Amino acid sequence: DTGVSQNPRHKITKRGQNVTFRCDPISEHNRLYWYRQTLGQGPEFLTYFQNEAQLEKSRLLSDRFSAERPKGSFSTLEIQRTEQGDSAMYLCASYGSLAGDPIAAQYFGPGTRLLVL
């Protein structure tokens, strides 16, 4: 367990519905990332936050996607009007160092697997 949690772990929805995922990062880390991972591929960067500020968004993040981190702690990723192509694993990563380890790295949550029918 890396200390990063995500909810829900699985989500099945019908095309056109909205879904929202939550990520709780390691509390001392001020950077938070969202990635999308499809089967057999590495994670693809979606967006990242420095505290509550969203500093970068990938071109993969269409206007149906929105992410927030209102208090600089947990973050939510919402997908509106879901499409079958949105089916993927959505990973959250907390970025920083851990006690006794000075080098910062990304620590991933377990992911939310989305299936759009």
* In the complex, least distance from residue 96 CB atom to other proteins, rounded to whole angstroms: 12
CA pair distance 70, 62, nearest whole angstrom: 20
97, 99, 103, 107: CA torsion to nearest 10: -40
Q: Is 67 helix (H, G, I), strand (E, B) or coil?
A: strand
Nearer CB in complex with other proteins: 25/111: 111
Q: How far apart are CA 91 and CA 80, in angstroms?
A: 18
Instruction: State how far the alpha carbon of 22 is from the alpha carbons of 97, 99, 102, 104, 108, in Å.
Output: 22, 25, 28, 23, 13
State which of positions 49-108 bind other proteins (CB under 8 A).
Answer: 50, 55-56, 91, 103, 105-108
* Stretch touching other proteins by CB under 8 A, among 21-29, 43-51, 60-68, 76-84: 43-51
For other proteins, the closer CB: 33 or 65: 33
Rounded CA-CA distance 19/69 in Å is 16
Q: Which stretch binds other proteins (CB under 8 A): 20-28, 48-56, 59-67, 80-88?
A: 48-56
Task: Rule CB under 8 A: say whether 48 interacts with other proteins.
Answer: yes
Interface residue list for other proteins (CB under 8 A): 1-2, 31, 33, 40-45, 48, 50, 55-56, 91, 103, 105-111
